[in-house]
Amino acid sequence: MLVQGARQVGKTWILKAFGEAMFANCVLLDFAEDAALRGLFVSDLKPQRILTDLSVYLNRDISLDNTLLIFDEIQLCPEALTSLKYFYEAFPSATICASGSLLGLGLSEQNFPVGKVQREWLRPMSFFEFLEALEESALCRALYDAAKNRTVISPTIHTKTFGLFKEFMITGGMPEVVQRYIALREQRVAAFQAVRALQRELTDSYLDDIAKHSGALKAVRVASVFKNIPEQLARESDGARKFLFKDVLSGRSTYDVLEGPIEWLIKAGLIHRVPVCRSVQSPLAAYAEKNAFMLYLFDTGMLGAMLYLNPAMLYQYTFGQFKGFLAENTVLNELLCSGAGPIYTWRGTSSEIEFLLASGSQMIPVEVKAGLNTKAKSMQVFRDKYSPEMAVLFSAQGTNQFDHGLLHAPLYLAGAIFL
């Protein structure tokens, strides 16, 4: 298994925890911490020879019968990535996991072991994982049940949950950020300040990684796209939103110029692309426009930090137009964490639907309202035109029930509706 994801989302931690809990032994090879390990894969990629040399190097017996073997930061040793093919053939019952930041991984031309490795994404924590971190397990179960059974959420529970959801929109789901917030949560102002400071450190580290891994000429364009996404999301909607290329670089930039940097950021796990569909037919991918799409950040907390949004203002939920795009970004991340996708957006002549999901033969429109106003003219236009069996409207209201094929649900249930 290869666990992919942006840097510092917890890939190494979760693999170590898995190994220590489920195996008699856990051997972690960190190619970043110990560069000498890369030498084990230089002469050849024969698994038995590698294991023998590894046992000698670590001065411990390694039996794959009861051991989880972890190749960490595998992008730093491409030969180790290729060797997974031979390990699979020589030891088909062994359990070997690899992890690495996509800053470099997936962008190389190394011989990837296609068909031999299960690839999984690790994303930042979802809202429900945030609740678990706050030891709100009972609330989690109640919300999952409400989402599954379409039961109404009481006003008291809604008020509590929406308050926690606002906290989550500030912290986002980066594990270290959540951990620091929880440690200081009793002093809310200090906690929010610490969260923003760490998020800005993480932003700087991503920009450093971009400069290091994307090449000198390309780095400027990649960094410009990354920094421009929050600015574009924060602009007031003009009724025909999509990512605009012209102002990203000095002078006039085009899709052809920015296509490579955008793909780089997607593969690095730092952004999400939501293609625009003008016509809703199956398969949606065939009707998505190549150069018309929305771009979102992989973590809403990082989005707020990059825009220097005041956490107190966000928590009070009185920040005007900012509510809309933050709610959209959060809902998108929740949908992706729940396994929904691929995800598109629909643009009509004078209407738009934030997200469009393909579920079997169904096309499910999802509209996001940050506030209490649930008037949904665009949703009605879409339903009149395409007659979907199910449609979803997320809002700040606590209502959780069907109304003639339209599900009204609170924003914080976005990660549970499609499970």
pLDDT at 320: 63
Q: Domain total for the chain? A: 2
Q: Does 229 fall in a domain?
A: yes
Q: What is the pLDDT of residues 140-186, one digit of tens each?
A: 999 999 999 999 999 999 999 999 999 999 999 999 999 999 999 99
Shared domain for 114 and 134, answered yes or no, is no
Write down the mean pLDDT value for the chain: 92
Instruction: Please report the sign of the dihedral spanned by the C-alpha atoms of residue 101, residue 107, residue 111, residue 116.
Output: positive
Residue 110 has pLDDT above 80, yes or no: no
The confidence score (pLDDT) of residue 113 equals 81
CATH of the domain at 84: 3.40.50
Residue 189 identity? V
Mean pLDDT of 115-127: 93
- Count other C-beta atoms under 10 Å from residue 20's C-beta: 11
Q: Please tell me whether residues 105 and 214 are part of one structural domain.
A: no
* CA–CA dist 194, 202 (Å, integer): 12
Question: Does residue 91 sit in the same domain as residue 151?
Answer: no
Domain contains 18: yes
Structure tokens belonging to residue 270:
């730092």
Q: What is the mean pLDDT of residues 327-343?
A: 95
Whether the pLDDT of residue 318 is over 80: the answer is: no
- Distance separating alpha carbons of residues 232 and 117, to the nearest angstrom: 37
- Non-local (6+) Cβ contacts of 349 within 8 A are none
In a domain, 238, yes or no: yes
Compute the distance between CA of residue 78 and CA of residue 85 in angstroms, rounded to an integer: 12
Check residue 161 and give its pLDDT. 97
Chain centre to alpha carbon of residue 404: 32
Which residues, listed in sequence order, are joined to residue 353 by a DSSP beta bridge? 346
Q: What pLDDT band is residue 321 in, cutting at 50, 70 and 90?
A: low
pLDDT of res. 326: 93
Judge whether 206 lies within some domain: yes
The domain boundary residue, chosen from 98, 121, 144: 121
Query: Does residue 323 lie within any of the structural domains?
Result: yes
Looking at the predicted structure, is the pLDDT value of residue 415 above 90?
Answer: yes
Q: Are residues 221 and 240 in the same domain?
A: yes
Please give the residue range of the domain that contains residue 384. 127-413
CB-based contacts of 21, cutoff 8 Å, min separation 6: none
Domain boundary among 90, 121, 152: 121
Instruction: Write down how long the chain is.
Output: 419
Quick check: pTM over 0.85? yes
Q: What is the pLDDT of residues 46-85, one digit of tens each?
A: 999 999 999 999 999 999 999 999 999 998 898 999 999 9
Euclidean distance between CA atoms 208 and 85, whole angstroms? 32
pLDDT at 43: 93
| 3 state DSSP class of 285 | helix
Do 153 and 95 fall within a single domain? no
Examine residue 419 and state whether it is found in any structural domain, yes or no: no
Looking at the structure, do residues 260 and 408 belong to the same domain, yes or no?
yes
Residue 33 half-sphere exposure toward CB, CA atoms < 13 A:
7
* Model confidence band, residue 313 (pLDDT cutoffs 50, 70, 90): confident
The answer to the question of residue 418 being in a domain is: no
pLDDT of residue 104: 60
The last residue of one of the domains, among 85, 106, 121, is 121
In a domain, 301, yes or no: yes
Using pLDDT thresholds of 50, 70 and 90, give the confidence band for residue 417.
Answer: very high
**Which helix (H) or strand (E) is 151 found in, with range?**
none
pLDDT band at 239 (very low <50, low <70, confident <90, very high): very low
Residue 328 to residue 306: CA distance in whole angstroms: 16
Helix H or strand E encompassing 157? helix 155-171
* Residue 391 burial (CB count, 10 A): 25
CA distance 31 to 302: 28
As a whole number of angstroms, the distance between CA 62 and CA 104 comes to: 29
Cβ atoms 27, 145 nearer than 8 A: no
Q: How do residues 2-44 score in pLDDT, each as one tens digit?
A: 999 999 999 999 999 999 999 999 999 999 999 999 999 999 9
Residue-level pLDDT at 359: 79
Residues 34/76, Cβ–Cβ less than 8 Å: no
Once rounded to an integer, what is the mean pLDDT over residues 354-365? 89
Tell me: do 318 and 228 sit in the same domain: yes
